[in-house]
Chains A and B, each alone.
Chain A
Amino acid sequence: MLRKGLALAALGLAFLAGPALASTHPKEPKDVHWSFEGPLGKFDKAQLQRGYKVYREVCSACHAMEQMSFRNLGQKGGPFYDPKYPNPNDNPYVKSLAKDIQVKDIDQDTGDVIQRPGIAADKFPAPFPNEPAARASNGGALPPDLSLIAKAREGGPAYVYSLLTGYQNSPAGLTLTPAQHYNPYFPGDLTSAWHGAAHHVPQGGAIGMPPPLAPGKVTFDDGKPSTIDQQGKDVAAFLAWAAEPKMEERKEFGLGAMIYLLIFSGLLWVSYRKIWKNIGH
């Protein structure tokens, strides 16, 4: 009896205490339709080309893509693939893209560190020589490598797109340092920076990257209007391709494998029925 009473009292107290303060969750990524969704989805080549331009002209100032080489841009399924050049190292467009970028090398005669124009086999050069240098140039924040970013974040390319296009003015009551920027899609917990009503901590987090995109910041060669939304979508698609350049090959192979297995299973089922025909079991 006493125990029951205590339990009931505890129950009452718990209700009085009100709901526990849950930590904030970032906003769900926006709903985007991608051409590469679904079992038959393919990348939109023009979109990948625009996306590469956004990466090259905007993102690459701070973000490395260490898994990527210029030749990848011209490989099958890549943004600049040309069936005339099955070896992407021969693709003249890829070669010219690489040539525009200076890469670090060693002079073979003197051993000095030099800069030379890139070739298709070169990796994308990193914007900073090391992590401390990257942090020093970015207010202490480390710009993550983007090679796998579309796989390394919950929500994938939709998250990348939402983050890039989702910057908002920081709500009144949120105190951020000048190096921080409010973004409702960025995971984090703003409780300590929040001075408003305790139950209404804003969603999202404080990101070190200032809003990177602006209307007209990149000129698209195919004449697409260069809005923030278009730039965000295109670069997210490019990063999705870069995270898994073999995705189209995977899906194509998969279709054949599924058809083969279906037929094979059907044949085995017929054989099974035939062999077991006279066995009562």
Chain B
Amino acid sequence: MSGHSTYEPKTGFERWLDMRLPIVRLAYDSVVAFPTPKNLNYWWTFGGILAFCLGIQIVTGIVLAMHYVPHVDYAFNSVERIMRDVNYGWLIRNVHANGASMFFIAVYIHMFRGLYYGSYKAPREVLWILGCVIYLLMMATAFMGYVLPWGQMSFHGAVVITNLFGALPVVGPSITTWLWGGFAVDDPTLNRFFSLHYLLPFMIAGVVGLHIWALHVPGNNNPTGVNVKSAEDTVPFHPYYTVKDGFAISVFLLMFAVFVFYLPDALGHSDNSIKANPLVTPTHIVPEWYFLPFYAILRALPDKLMGVLAMFGAIASLFVLPWLDTSKVRSMRYRPTAKLYFFIFILACIALGFCGAKLPDDQVIPGFTSFQLMDADLNSFVWLSRIAALYYFAYFWVITPLLGLTETPLPAPESISSPVLSHPATTPTGAVASPEKRG
């Protein structure tokens, strides 16, 4: 754990500075000497990858803002100017636009890792909640960023999402007008979205600081979920994890580069290459892929207000998860039943994402008509999303609380260094044999 500082100022200047502002000590304790469990696998590299993604988005975003014009008459053309005439503008914009998707891929893996290994459980509840706050800020930032190019999907997506707030009773219409800065999505909306899109990433950076602080108090969780017992269980962060995270970031960048250089529009929508036109509505309005599961939950309920509440409830469930889970065992390595339900949960999330991209009334099995239930055919994407959404909520509110009380977990190892009943991927006792087989 964080423990005592082992930093010793070496030069006269460092000694002088350390008495006044121990900033070198802070950096040393956080990213050099910080004791880290030695058994972290590659799922743990996504924290570093995410910090890297945030940095990329901020740097490319600042450059893009130098060339972008937040005005309904010029926004679209200014983005095209970036793509055509600004030196390496195509690169900066492709990195920024695809970077958002990469950021979300990484954050979803990071969150699923936290769920699987029980990283949200005591004493890491605040760490988890700060992560949820970052996720919420990321969603707001990404949504507003997608509006800025002022294409057809930007505009009509903004109309759909801002109208959601209109479903709230009494205050709904006022909130919508306030968000728009008028009575429709228009220039004032674009301007405030640009302003907020520039502000929120710095708020994210601030909460990331808190997130790392909250991480460094209890220290990292690890794949066994067992607390660090002695110095033998840990290695200093540098060089052990700087090199491992560095390798992971580099591999992640390879995947990132495939999108930026060879599939720059694969994750976007062709309608966004058409300038926004409030009088022409695209046939299907779909959000970016990372919002699709929530979009499916929104559309799963026949009532608009209920849909909006369910969508926000899906995110709110994450916040209270530390108190919904009754199991004392952190890692699902030792919870076979929980593991099964967890994998079904991942499938439900993927199914929701799939449903969000489809028209609600389209058939899941083509050409097969079953029977009408409520307002739709049972063989339709709206019913698939209802089933998946039900599982999503049941996983948090029913399965997780009950499972901790009823399941029989497998015995967990005594400590990280002596995994008596180890995970098959881990060789017993601190031997050096075949390290290439270990995460």
Contacts and interface: CB of A to CB of B under 8 A. Distances in A.
A241 B36 CA distance: 51
A250 B91 contact: yes
Interface in A161-179: none
Contacts of B94: 250
Nearest to A19: B369
B80 A268 contact: no
B337 interface: no
Interface residues of B, number: 49
A271 B243 contact: yes
Interface in A5-29: 7, 10-11, 13-15, 17-20
Interface in B58-88: 77, 80, 83-84
Contacts of B275: 145
B251 A265 contact: yes
8 contacts: A10-B371, A11-B371, A72-B84, A152-B273, A254-B261, A265-B250, A271-B243, A277-B435
A18 B77 CA distance: 49
A261 interface: yes
B281 interface: no
Contact of A280 (B260, B367, B432): B432
B38 interface: yes
B415 to A, nearest CB: 13
A265 B247 contact: yes
Interface of A: 7, 10-11, 13-15, 17-20, 39, 66-67, 72, 144-145, 147-148, 151-154, 156, 187, 243-246, 249-251, 253-255, 257-258, 261-262, 264-265, 268-269, 271-273, 275-281
A253 B261 contact: yes
B91 A253 contact: yes
A129 B264 CA distance: 34
Interface of B: 38-39, 77, 80, 83-84, 90-91, 94, 235, 239-240, 243-244, 246-247, 250-251, 253-254, 257-258, 260-262, 264-265, 270-271, 273-275, 283, 367, 369-372, 377, 417, 426-427, 429-432, 435-436, 438
Contact of A261 (B254, B264, B273, B430): B254
B251 A273 contact: no
B247 A280 contact: no
Given A244-B83, A279-B235, A7 B243 contact: no
**Which 9 A-B pairs rank lowest in CB-CB distance, beginning with the nearest?**
A254-B261, A280-B430, A152-B273, A268-B247, A151-B273, A265-B250, A281-B38, A10-B371, A14-B371
A271 B250 CA distance: 13
A254 B431 contact: no
A11 B370 contact: yes
B232 to A, nearest CB: 10
A153 to B, nearest CB: 6
A152 B149 CA distance: 14
Contact of B262 (A151, A243, A251): A251
Contacts of A13: 371
A244 B367 CA distance: 39
B261 A250 contact: yes
Contacts of B273: 148, 151-152, 243
Contacts of B372: 10, 14
Contacts of A151: 265, 270, 273
B264 to A, nearest CB: 7
Contacts of A20: 369, 377
Contacts of B39: 281
B432 A277 contact: yes
A254 B262 contact: yes
A255 B426 CA distance: 37
A72 B81 CA distance: 12
B371 A261 contact: no
A7 B244 contact: no
Given A10-B372, A250-B94, 7 more contacts: A11-B371, A250-B91, A254-B260, A273-B436, A276-B244, A280-B435, A281-B435
Given A14-B372, A251-B261, A281-B38, A67 B254 contact: no
A278 B435 CA distance: 9
A273 B431 CA distance: 15
Contacts of B83: 244, 246
Contact of A153 (B38, B253, B270): B270
B243 A275 contact: yes
A249 B90 contact: yes
